[in-house]
């Protein structure tokens, strides 16, 4: 079963990449772009049939490895 | 011979390249990324570094800079364009060279000497070169060359693989592949072989007190071919 | 919010410090003012526990242009060239978030250097982790190395040397010390002292966010179980912006418009504005509504205490605003006039047309507390009587291998290969030697640098430990053919409020002072990091010394690679056989007590200067100082680096061979010389009363000693290079 | 208006990061993890009220900058 996870920077944490991308987009003529924040996305194939079990496993993984909770939040989608 | 080195915000091998080009006889000019016109040049160099912090994908944002359109025009008209390291990444991002440079296989930045084998000498860069295997220096986090099978076939059929990682005796295999690059590819040409992108830094190897001197061979040969 | 004692204590101030503030001010400070006080009066900014002792450091010398007290120290290297350098700790942030903590540490120290007008030309680092078995160690190491590389590589400054050690005392408190060297024209050095009234105060660089608020007070706080709650204060580094800031600042400095400049480091806008104004005996007025902010609704308190990275404060000449702004626009950086200098000797802060702080500057700096803390003297431990019959069961070659793969001795290539050490095209000695060496671009000169520390020795006897690190640093520079010029120091200690920790500090500083005076090797900059403890357990005292030396002609630089079969190897300096505190005693005999090796400053200097002379006279082919592990380890490293062997002579009527081979007596070097030069070399050594032994002869590819050691260099190499890689991969 | 984008590697393109993460997870005791693929996630604030317009703008941006179509696919979510 496939579980998808999004990891984003916490509010207020500087996102230098997002900032550079936004400025580039503005420079390319996409002037209406006000902010870009970049995060990570994971497609995780778990050997598990029950969704709740799989998700709770992934949650555990997020806390232990995939997200750096000091500066990041995660969301299982 | 006239050369131009483009400086992007975050380029950091621009000075090194300038020093090397001048040492071997080029009359070099530095060009700012926000300029639109290139000075008259026999060679354009996109130097190494971290243009735009390597943000998004290495080379992607530099690929949208103002000057790049002139570089593309220049290249399409047959002018020589050399991209080293980040310059190579920029060339693939603009589509001037096929493929992409992904993160190194072991996910670590690598700074060390490697050997590369020159695979094609029917071009302005390597014609007459006096050594087939050069010891050069790499310093990158994203040098893991990749392209689709179809593309690879085209590249191979047209002898576009310029240099491949090898050991000091010229053997190319997994052990001599520092970053996981497809087919040990360290550098490639475009179809017409006027554009060369490569990960190793010849400009860091230009006198015997540095990590080696084989960079000198590269530059001496290049200017010799242009003269 | 009404300020009261509890809030003050939550800000890290002591109760009587808060009382003192109120009585000096003759009122209760408001919250913004309290924030400012807490930042300026904490250990990190005020040096309140250390100042008294740091005054004793030896800081003067013929080549010193600027000693401690500025953003970094400056030394004269001849012609119009000067080197600006400093080391700084980023221990607490790196433990919380190793990548960002280490990265911003590197960013911070580089700003200290380019603030003075210097282009950074080399980075170094000294990093210390808990026991390899500790569950956090591997990730911390990986993160720190990635962070250091991530920042330095991106900026394009080579990382040319460093030091890495493991010790269980760092299990809950790692150390990350970063050092930068920059090159400046000695007539174009910039300082942080403001001058002139009504000069515009300029903010440049990144925007201000809520990052790192109270970072400085956190650096002076003890870790406890609540540390998790403090996590959001971690700052994120943006090396790309720093690179732009570097180029923009250097461009602005080329023109004569800067009066004073100061990076916003610990305690951000607070300490930079206070320092610039108080050094100039001026006042300063800021309008925080003008500060470029990244986040909405930031309060004056937050703006003043934010530790967002990659920002600078500049006092500009009147009328230069527009031309300066153009430069920052070109580099796509924020630029804002946020205030002016005044003659009030106060800091006055406005926000949305309201005055939000008004404080006399002397209360923040000169009147900041200074403590004469109680400290306990450390006795020299009793010497251990090693029973020689215990050695009988040991095999020399096993001992050698065990030492070579010891985490504190083994090869650190896994680390430094992740650092770009060749960018800028002037690195002529890369990491892995005794010191890193970079050429002074376009000249014949080169600069050698190394960082050293010895927690084991300093813990066993702080006074000796302090002396020893300075000597080791000096030796590392001598070994590459440099003339040692000056040092920077990063003093990493436990809790100064504890007498033992304070005693360690005081005596280490004494040791550093004695040695640097004797060797004419002054301290020009540095940093103190106290409160390195977790749950009441302090780290071992760890003074890191960053040494800088000059090579007048880079072609005369030497390294430790053996050059030729048949050449002779001499040990310079007398081997007394001091095993106490040696890696051999600790790891193989499991004996952790005893005094560290004695430092004889006369011999140290005499041996060093004599080796220097031999190098100048082209009589030495390669050289390596003897440090951890002793003579055999040092000889092995020379072999491994050059892929050549050594046949060690049979020792005639010497002390016990284990003592000879594994003792860590100080002031020693191994040198390789040509046979033909032997008599010349011997004469110089004898003329200078330098003790030496004939150790052996360079051979093809074997490490040999009578019938006891017969190892191929490949074997040695695998042992030496294997440990760290294996540890990190598994 | 906020638009979210996921950029993933095309099938068949090697994902060294994903692979390393998977191995680490396995090593940490998450043995049921069969595959991890890492991608990028963007939160984009567009100054635009109509969703279709905003999305079409973002699509254009993805093609021109955010994704490298040689190796990546994108999805606006
Ligand atoms: N963190 C590091 N960064 C860069 N280089 C390092 C680091 N740790 C160790 N090194 C390099 O590894 C070599 C060995 O270090 P060390 O064992 O401390 O040497 P020595 O005993 O000669 O002082 C040195 O050249 C040093 O520069
Ligand atoms: Mg040494």
Give pLDDT tens digits for C653-704: 568 899 999 999 999 999 999 999 999 999 999 999 999 999 999 999 899 9
Q: Is C12 in the pocket of ligand 1 (CB under 6 A)?
A: no
Give the CATH number for residue A24. 3.30.1280.10
Contact A38 D34 (CB under 8 A): no
Q: Are A38 and A21 in contact (CB under 8 A)?
A: yes
Give just the sign of the alpha carbon dihedral D19, C155, C528, C451. Answer: positive
Closest chain A C-alpha to B65 CA, distance in angstroms: 9
User: C357-388, pLDDT tens digit by residue?
Assistant: 999 999 998 889 999 999 999 999 999 999 88
Q: How far apart are CA C284 and CA C201, in angstroms?
A: 8
Tens digits of residue pLDDT in C396-417: 999 999 999 999 999 999 999 9
Q: Is the CB of C412 under 6 A from ligand 1?
A: yes
**What is the token pair recorded at C211?**
């990052």
Kindly tell me if the per-residue pLDDT of C227 is higher than 50: no
Our mutation pick for probing the ligand 1 site, out of C109, C124, C125, C163, counting the most ligand atoms within 8 A of Cβ, is C163
Which member of B64, B99, B107 has the closest CB to residue D17? B107
> Taking CB atoms and an 8 Å cutoff, what residues of chain A touch C206?
14
pLDDT bucket at D13, cuts 50 / 70 / 90 = confident
Q: Are strands B2-7 and B27-32 parallel, antiparallel or unpaired?
A: parallel
Instruction: Give the model's confidence band at C592: pLDDT under 50 very low, under 70 low, under 90 confident, else very high.
Output: very high
**In chain A, which residues have their Cβ closer than 8 Å to the Cβ of D28?**
61, 64-65
Ligand 2 centroid, distance to B151 Cα (angstroms): 50
CA D47 to chain A, closest CA, distance in angstroms equals: 5
Could you give the CA distance from residue C368 to residue C272 in angstroms, rounded to a whole number?
A: 16
| Closest partner CB to B55 (pick from A16, A27, A28) | A16
Say yes or no: CB of residue C431 within 6 Å of ligand 1: yes
Q: Which of C218-227, C561-570, C626-635 has the lowest mean pLDDT?
A: C218-227
Residue B82 CA to its chain's centroid (Å): 5
User: Who's near C43: CB < 8 A, 6+ residues apart?
Assistant: C49, C50, C219, C220, C496, C528, C530, C531
Give the pLDDT score at C719: 97
Q: What is the pLDDT of residues C505-558, one digit of tens each?
A: 999 999 999 999 999 999 999 999 999 998 878 899 999 999 999 999 999 999
Contact C262, B31 (CB under 8 A): no
Cβ–Cβ below 8 Å for A12 and C210: yes
Q: Does C277 score more than 60 pLDDT?
A: yes
How confident is the prediction for chain C on average, in pLDDT?
Answer: 94
Give the phi and the psi of residue D7 in degrees, each rounded to 5.
-115, 125
Residue nearest to atom 20 of ligand 1 (CA): C434
Provide the CATH number for the domain around residue B148: 3.40.50.880
State the closest ligand 1 atom to the C-alpha of C624, by its place in the atom list counted from 1.
Answer: 22
Please state, in angstroms and rounded to a whole number, the distance separating the CA atoms of residues A42 and D37.
6
Beta-carbon separation of D6 and A61 below 8 A: no
Interface touch B61/A24, C-beta < 8 Å? yes
pLDDT at C624 over 80: yes
Bridge partners of C68, per DSSP, are C70
The share of chain C scoring above pLDDT 90, in percent, equals: 89
Task: For residue C113, report the phi and psi dihedrals to the nearest 5 degrees.
Answer: -80, -45
Domain count, chain B: 1
Q: Is B58 a catalytic residue?
A: no
Task: Specify the pLDDT at position C223.
Answer: 47
Using CA atoms, how far residue C461 sits from C452, C472, C474, C537, in Å, is: 17, 16, 20, 18
- Domain of residue B67 covers 2-226
Which residue's C-alpha comes closest to atom 14 of ligand 1? C432
What is the chain B residue with the closest CA to A16? B55
* C243 part of contact set with chain A, CB < 8 Å: no
pLDDT band at C215 (very low <50, low <70, confident <90, very high): low
Question: What number is the average pLDDT over the span C453-467?
Answer: 97
- The answer, yes or no, to whether residue A28 has pLDDT greater than 80, is yes
The answer to whether A21 contacts B53, with C-beta atoms less than 8 Å apart, is no
How many helices (H) does chain D have, and how many strands (E)? 2, 3
Pairing of the two strands B80-84 and B43-46: parallel
Q: Measured between CB atoms, which of D12, D16, D70 is closest to B100? A: D70
Domain tally, chain A = 1
Percent with pLDDT over 70 in chain C? 97
- Kindly state if the Cβ of C38 falls inside 6 Å of ligand 1: no
Per-residue pLDDT of C118-176, as tens digits, reads 999 999 999 999 999 999 999 999 999 999 999 999 999 999 999 999 999 999 999 99
Catalytic positions of C: 44, 90
Tell me the pLDDT tens digit for each residue of B10-39. 999 999 999 999 999 999 999 999 999 999
Is the confidence at residue C231, as pLDDT, over 70?
no
- How far apart are the CA of A56 and the nearest CA of chain C, in angstroms? 23
Least CB-CB distance to B55: which of A17, A27, A28? A17
Contact at CB, B12 and C155, closer than 8 angstroms: yes
The average pLDDT across A37-59 equals 94
Written in H, E and C, the secondary structure of B74-143 is: HHHCCCEEEEECHHHHHHHHCCCCCCEEECCCCCCCEEEEEEEEECCCCCCCCCCCCCCEEEEEEEECCC
CB contact under 8 A, C423 and B110: no
Residue C216 has pLDDT above 70, yes or no: no
d(CA B75, CA B193) in angstroms, rounded, equals: 10
C229 has a pLDDT exceeding 50: no
pTM for this model (two decimals): 0.94
pLDDT at residue C220 tops 80: no
List pLDDT tens digits, range B145-202: 999 999 999 999 999 999 999 999 999 999 999 999 999 999 999 999 999 999 999 9
pLDDT at C214: 67
The ipTM estimated for the assembled molecules is 0.93
Å between C330 CA and nearest CA of chain B: 9
| A→D interface, C-beta within 8 Å | 6-8, 18, 21, 24-25, 28, 30, 32-48, 57, 60-61, 64-66
Q: What is the DSSP letter of C108?
A: H
Q: Which residues of chain B approach chain D closer than 8 Å at the C-beta?
A: 56-57, 60-61, 64, 92-93, 99-100, 102-107, 144, 146-148, 180
Nearest CA in chain B to C424: B16
Closest by alpha carbon to B137, among C426, C422, C559, C438? Answer: C422
Q: Sheet with B43-46: list strands edge to edge.
A: B27-32, B2-7, B43-46, B80-84, B195-198, B185-189, B161-166, B110-118, B133-140
* pLDDT grade for C232, boundaries at 50, 70 and 90: very low
Q: What is the mean pLDDT of residues A21-43?
A: 94
Domain of residue A45: give its range: 2-76
Q: C-alpha distances in angstroms, B124 versus B90, B118, B192, C380? A: 21, 13, 10, 71
Q: What is the pLDDT of residue C228?
A: 41
pLDDT tens track for C43-100: 888 999 999 999 999 999 999 999 999 999 999 999 999 999 999 999 999 999 999 9
């Amino acid at each position: 079963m496939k579980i998808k996870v999004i990891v984003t920077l916490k509010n207020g944490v500087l996102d230098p990449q997002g900032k550079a991308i936004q400025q580039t987009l503005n420079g390319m003529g996409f002037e209406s772009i006000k902010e870009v924040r970049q995060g990570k996305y994971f497609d995780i194939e778990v050997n598990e049939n029950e969704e709740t079990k799989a998700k709770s496993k992934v949650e555990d993984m997020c806390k232990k490895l995939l997200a750096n909770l000091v500066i990041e939040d995660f969301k299982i989608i | 011979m006239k050369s131009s080195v483009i400086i992007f915000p975050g380029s950091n091998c621009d000075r090194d390249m300038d020093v090397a080009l001048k040492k071997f006889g080029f009359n070099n000019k530095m060009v700012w990324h926000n300029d639109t016109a290139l000075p008259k040049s026999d060679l354009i160099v996109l130097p190494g570094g971290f243009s735009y912090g390597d943000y998004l994908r290495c080379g992607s944002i530099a690929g949208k800079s103002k000057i790049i359109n002139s570089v593309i025009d220049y290249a399409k008209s047959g002018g020589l364009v050399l991209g080293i390291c980040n310059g190579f990444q920029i060339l693939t991002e603009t589509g001037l060279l096929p493929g992409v440079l992904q993160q190194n296989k072991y996910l670590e930045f690598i700074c060390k000497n490697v050997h590369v084998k020159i695979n094609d000498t029917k071009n302005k860069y390597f014609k007459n070169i006096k050594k087939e295997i050069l010891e050069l220096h790499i310093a990158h986090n994203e040098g893991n060359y990749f392209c689709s099978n179809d593309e690879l076939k085209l590249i191979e059929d047209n002898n576009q693989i310029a240099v491949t990682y090898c050991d000091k005796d010229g053997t190319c295999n997994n052990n001599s592949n520092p970053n996981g690059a497809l087919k040990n590819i360290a550098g490639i040409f475009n179809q017409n072989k006027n554009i060369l992108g490569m990960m190793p830094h010849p400009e860091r190897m230009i006198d015997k007190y540095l990590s080696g001197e084989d960079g000198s061979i590269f530059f001496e040969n290049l200017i010799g071919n242009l003269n | 919010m009404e300020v009261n004692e509890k809030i003050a204590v939550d800000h890290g101030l002591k109760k009587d410090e808060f009382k003192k503030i109120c009585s000096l001010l003759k009122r209760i400070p408001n919250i913004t003012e309290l924030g400012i006080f807490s930042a300026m009066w904490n250990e990190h900014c005020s040096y309140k526990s250390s100042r008294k002792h740091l005054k004793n450091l030896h800081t003067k010398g013929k080549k010193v242009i600027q000693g401690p007290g500025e953003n970094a120290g400056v030394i004269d290297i001849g012609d119009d060239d000067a080197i600006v350098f400093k080391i700084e700790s980023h221990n607490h942030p790196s433990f919380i978030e190793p990548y960002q903590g280490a990265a911003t540490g590197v960013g911070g120290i580089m700003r200290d250097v380019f603030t003075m007008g210097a282009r950074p030309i080399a980075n170094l680092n000294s990093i210390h982790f808990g026991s390899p078995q500790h569950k956090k160690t591997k990730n911390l190491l990986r993160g720190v190395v990635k962070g250091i590389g991530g920042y330095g590589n991106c900026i394009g400054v080579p990382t040319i040397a460093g030091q890495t050690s493991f010790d269980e005392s760092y299990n809950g408190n790692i150390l990350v010390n970063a050092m930068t060297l920059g090159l400046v024209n000695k007539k174009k050095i910039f300082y942080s002292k403001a001058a002139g009234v009504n000069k515009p105060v300029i903010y440049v660089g990144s925007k201000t966010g809520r990052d790192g608020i109270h970072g400085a007070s956190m650096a002076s706080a003890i870790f406890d179980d609540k540390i998790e709650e403090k996590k959001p204060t971690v700052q994120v580094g943006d090396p790309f912006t720093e690179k732009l800031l570097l180029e923009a600042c250097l461009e602005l400095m080329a023109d004569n418009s800067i009066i004073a400049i100061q990076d916003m480091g610990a305690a951000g806008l607070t300490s930079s504005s206070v320092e610039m104004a108080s050094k100039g005996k001026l006042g300063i007025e800021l309008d925080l509504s003008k500060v470029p902010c990244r986040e909405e609704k930031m309060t004056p308190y937050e703006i003043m205490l934010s530790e967002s990275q990659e920002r600078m404060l500049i006092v500009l000449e009147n009328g230069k605003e527009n031309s300066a702004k153009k430069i920052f626009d070109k580099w796509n950086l924020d630029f804002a006039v946020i205030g002016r200098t005044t003659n009030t000797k106060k800091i006055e802060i406005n926000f949305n047309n309201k005055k939000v702080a008004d404080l006399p500057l002397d209360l923040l700096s000169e009147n900041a507390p200074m403590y004469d803390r109680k400290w306990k003297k450390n006795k020299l431990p009793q010497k251990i009587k090693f029973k020689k019959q215990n050695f009988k069961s040991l095999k020399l070659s096993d001992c050698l291998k065990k030492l070579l793969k010891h985490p504190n001795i083994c090869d650190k290539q896994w680390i430094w290969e992740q650092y770009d050490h060749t960018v800028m095209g002037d690195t002529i000695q890369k990491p892995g030697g005794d010191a890193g060496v970079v050429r002074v671009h376009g000249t014949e000169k080169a600069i050698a640098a190394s960082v050293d520390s010895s927690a084991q020795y300093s813990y066993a006897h702080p006074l000796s430990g302090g002396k020893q690190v300075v000597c080791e640093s000096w030796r590392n520079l001598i070994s590459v053919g440099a003339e040692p010029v000056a040092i920077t120091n990063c003093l990493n200690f436990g809790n100064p409020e504890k007498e033992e920790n304070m005693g360690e500090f005081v005596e280490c500083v004494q040791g550093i002072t004695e040695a640097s005076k004797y060797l004419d090797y002054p301290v020009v900059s540095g940093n103190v990091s106290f409160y390195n403890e977790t749950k009441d357990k302090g780290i071992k005292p760890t003074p890191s010394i960053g040494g800088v030396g000059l090579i007048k002609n880079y072609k005369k630089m030497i390294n430790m690679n053996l050059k030729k079969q048949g050449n002779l190897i001499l040990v310079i300096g007398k081997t007394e056989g001091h095993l106490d505190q040696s890696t051999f005693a600790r790891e193989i005999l499991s004996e952790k007590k005893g005094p560290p090796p004695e430092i004889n400053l006369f011999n140290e200097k005499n041996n060093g200067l004599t080796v220097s002379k031999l190098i100048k006279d082209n009589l030495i082919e390669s050289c390596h100082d003897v440090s951890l592990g002793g003579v055999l380890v040092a000889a092995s490293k020379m072999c491994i680096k050059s892929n050549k062997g050594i046949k060690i002579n049979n020792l005639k009527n010497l002390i016990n061979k284990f003592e000879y081979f594994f003792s860590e007596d100080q002031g020693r070097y191994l040198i390789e010389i040509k046979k033909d030069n032997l008599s010349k070399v011997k004469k110089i050594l004898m003329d200078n009363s330098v003790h030496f032994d004939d150790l052996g002869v360079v051979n093809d590819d074997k490490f040999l000693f009578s019938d006891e050691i017969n190892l191929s260099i490949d074997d040695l190499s695998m042992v030496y290079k294997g440990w760290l890689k294996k540890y990190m991969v598994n």
